[in-house]
Amino acid sequence: MGWQELYRQRRTSAEEALAELRSGSGVFIGSGCGEPQHLVAALARCAEGLRDVAVIQAISVASEDYTAARFAESLRAQRYFVAAGARQEVSEGRADYTPIYLSDLPGLIESGRLSLDAALIQVSPPDEHGYLSLGVAVDVTLEAVERARLVVAQVNPAMPRTLGNSFLHVSLIDHLVEAEEELLAFHLPPPDETGREAARQASRLVPEAATIHCGLGAVAQAVLAELGGHQDLGVHTDVLTDAYLAPIASGAITGAAKSVYPHKIVASFCLGSRALFDFVHNNPMVEMQPTRVVNDPALIAQNQRMISVHEALEVDLTGQVCSEAIGSKIYAGLGGTVDFLRGAAKSPGGRSIVVLPSTRPDGSSRILPSLSPGAGVSVTRAGVRSVATEYGAVQLHGLSLRERAVALIDIAHPNHRDALLSAAREAGLIAEHQILVPLFTGIYPQRYEQEVVLKDGRTVLIRPVKPTDERMVQEFFYAMSDTEVYYRFLHAIKAFPKKDMQKMVNIDYHREMTLLALTGGFGAEQMVGVARYVLGGDGVPEVDFAVRHGLQGKGLGRALMTALLTIARDRGHKLASAYVTPENSASLSVLKSMGYAVSGTVSRGVVELHLHLDQPVTEPKVELKYEEMYKRG
């Protein structure tokens, strides 16, 4: 029998198809925007004759009529991820939420632990070979179809025909119900400016030629809008949304550098608008695969430079992340968060990023001493890698609890930093002597970050110091030779205690500046130089700098001092001073060649140079005056 005849024989109405349902059944419904609305409406109509039917849906984006109180004895909804439209029914107890990693859901179905008697799905019309496409909802539908005793498919011409492992033959369907209707749409409201800035901070951690996954949250999705200038990005994601369309259209997303499914956008379901559905229709660039493939951490890890962005509702000072609930009220779900976090962590050059605005709409902090009562731990403190807010991004992986607390306080809203510091002290997370720069004087000035290329072609990042740099700065000074220490501090120093390092890294960015020179990427930074100015008693900036042995003579000292003096000059300073020993010819040479008029004195074995920042010159001349005492020896 040809597939056409089989199709004709199995075509029926929704009411006739669902007449086979029995009380106590488990009924699977297609996910998200692929929900068969016509069949769901018919299920509600026939519910009166049923009792205790479990309605199982992996992802729900709409508030369903069948969860109303009048269906309480007939139908009971079970969710594995809760989008905005389904939150109320879960919070009111009209539907159940089951926390589970999406990668585990296929196994739950295949094992029979999740009992499925029927599967109600939505498909595109058959092609010339009798194959129907699952369109925008592949996820766990294939497993549901294989397990269910009864399979009913709504054939909808509005369902796009997607490619990949998304096809079912007509012979696998028991009943075919033709019903054309627009698919459910899904729309995330855009984040406010604070959320957009948090997204910008997270986007700075995305390298060229990365493979991207952005979780289902307004801020996480907004990261995609910041990637238009990137090149050869790839996509490996459980959920494909409208937010991906702009970087695809700009040419930023090509998939050319992908390790797995090169040149392909890999996804298991789509949530969005008709524009997205039209994009994926018959598009060879889009590869739809089941959840068991897409959410497999081992496969995710095979993508080089896999970057996974997840939105959090709150983070505590030890790094524990809650992304599924506000207190005990379920807000979303685990979804693929941990699957992609694990995969990105094992990816060569990969990274997972937790992003969130530092405050809630009511102004309260999302960075907390401990998670709110009732909130679940979506990501453990050992699992979190990076966290970004509108105040910057920090790498938590490998940091101690004390270092984590300092790092997270540094990207919290300034209004809450003092309270967080006090709470951290009280909890024993940080020492009593831990200092923090006062409100607003310590907001990190990202505008001073710049990359410079040295004479040997090496690229170095120059940026202001951060409180989290304490140990790195300490290690830098301990690595210096006795002579280099003497040149830098003008006297011998054998130890660089924590209390002194704290003062060096917790600075008032308005009154002073410390710039670090760093090699290595975010989370793997190595300090190779430092330049600093503090205001003397006369209000004149006193400058100094040091470069790690091995990079001296490569132009790094000059680059550091150029950046430092530019900041001082832009802040209205007309003069800067430096104290150098006469034997430190390298530092003297750099300071004399900065392009400003230089004068100075030599006294007691120290050269005091004055750089006149309001007097730029092309060939600076240096006039030194020697005090008589120094001349007589």
Q: Where in the chain is the domain with CATH 3.40.630.30?
A: 446-631
Phi, psi torsion values for 482, nearest 5 degrees: -60, -40
What pLDDT is attached to residue 618? 79
For residues 430-455, give the mean pLDDT: 83
Q: Which residue has the higher pLDDT, 407 or 490?
A: 407
User: Using CA atoms, how far apart are residues 478 and 253, in angstroms rounded to an integer?
Assistant: 45
Reading the block at residue 270, the tokens are 């789509």
For residues 176-197, give the mean pLDDT: 96
Q: What is the DSSP string of 484-544?
A: HHHHHHSS------HHHHHHHHS--TTT-EEEEEEES-TTS-EEEEEEEEEE-TTSPEEEE
The amino acid at 548: R
For residue 343, pLDDT beyond 70: yes
User: Using CA atoms, how far apart are residues 457 and 510, in angstroms rounded to an integer?
Assistant: 33
| Distances, alpha carbon 238 to alpha carbons 214, 279, 377, 424, 620, in Å | 9, 17, 21, 37, 61
Cα 625 to chain center, whole Å?
A: 57
Band (pLDDT 50/70/90 cuts) for residue 225 is very high
Which CATH code of 3.90.1150.10, 3.40.1080.10, 3.90.1650.10, 3.20.20.70 fits the domain covering 3-178? Answer: 3.40.1080.10
Band (pLDDT 50/70/90 cuts) for residue 355 is very high
For residues 582-586, give the mean pLDDT: 90
Reading the block at residue 502, the tokens are 């704290």
For residue 621, pLDDT beyond 70: no
User: Using CA atoms, how far apart are residues 533 and 63, in angstroms rounded to an integer?
Assistant: 60
What pLDDT is attached to residue 529? 97
Band (pLDDT 50/70/90 cuts) for residue 537 is confident
| Distances, alpha carbon 227 to alpha carbons 197, 216, 220, 233, 355, in Å | 13, 17, 12, 9, 16
Average pLDDT, the chain: 93
The CATH number of the domain covering residues in 446-631 = 3.40.630.30
Band (pLDDT 50/70/90 cuts) for residue 221 is very high
**pLDDT tens digit string along 452-484?**
999 999 999 999 999 999 999 999 999 999 988
Q: Which of 308, 289, 233 is nearest to 263 (CA)?
A: 233
Band (pLDDT 50/70/90 cuts) for residue 441 is low
**pLDDT tens digit string along 103-158?**
999 999 999 999 999 999 999 999 999 999 999 999 999 999 999 999 999 999 99
Phi, psi torsion values for 49, nearest 5 degrees: -90, 5
Q: Where in the chain is the domain with CATH 3.40.1080.20?
A: 193-426
Q: Are 526 and 518 in contact (CB under 8 A)?
A: yes
| Distances, alpha carbon 374 to alpha carbons 25, 279, 355, 377, 535, in Å | 32, 41, 21, 10, 49
**pLDDT tens digit string along 153-173?**
999 999 999 999 999 999 999
Domain 193-426 matching CATH 3.40.50.1010: the answer reads: no
Q: Which of 154, 152, 71 is nearest to 119 (CA)?
A: 152
User: Using CA atoms, how far apart are residues 288 and 268, in angstroms rounded to an integer?
Assistant: 5
Band (pLDDT 50/70/90 cuts) for residue 555 is very high
For residues 437-465, give the mean pLDDT: 88
Which residue matches tokens 């910008």?
Answer: 200
User: Residues near 395 by Cβ (< 8 Å), separated by ≥ 6?
Assistant: 385, 386, 407, 522, 523
Reading the block at residue 524, the tokens are 């793997």
Band (pLDDT 50/70/90 cuts) for residue 633 is very low
Share of the chain above pLDDT 90, in %: 79
For residue 298, pLDDT beyond 60: yes
Q: Are 314 and 322 in contact (CB under 8 A)?
A: yes
User: Using CA atoms, how far apart are residues 102 and 150, in angstroms rounded to an integer?
Assistant: 24
For residues 439-459, give the mean pLDDT: 88
Reading the block at residue 360, the tokens are 């809630």
Q: Where in the chain is the domain with CATH 3.40.1080.10?
A: 3-178
Q: Are 532 and 542 in contact (CB under 8 A)?
A: no
DSSP 89: H
Q: At CA 86, angle to CA 82 and CA 88, rounded to 5?
A: 115
For residue 400, pLDDT beyond 90: yes
For residues 536-556, give the mean pLDDT: 93
Phi, psi torsion values for 11, nearest 5 degrees: -75, 130
Which residue matches tokens 């940026």?
Answer: 463
Band (pLDDT 50/70/90 cuts) for residue 438 is low
Q: Which of 134, 144, 466 is nearest to 280 (CA)?
A: 134
User: Using CA atoms, how far apart are residues 294 and 270, in angstroms rounded to an integer?
Assistant: 13
User: Residues near 603 by Cβ (< 8 Å), separated by ≥ 6?
Assistant: 626, 627, 629, 630
Reading the block at residue 359, the tokens are 């405050």
Cα 279 to chain center, whole Å?
A: 26
Q: Which residue has the higher pLDDT, 603 or 409?
A: 409
What pLDDT is attached to residue 91? 83
User: Using CA atoms, how far apart are residues 550 and 517, in angstroms rounded to an integer?
Assistant: 14
The total of other beta-carbon atoms located within 10 Å of residue 1's CB is 7
User: Residues near 522 by Cβ (< 8 Å), separated by ≥ 6?
Assistant: 205, 351, 386, 393, 395
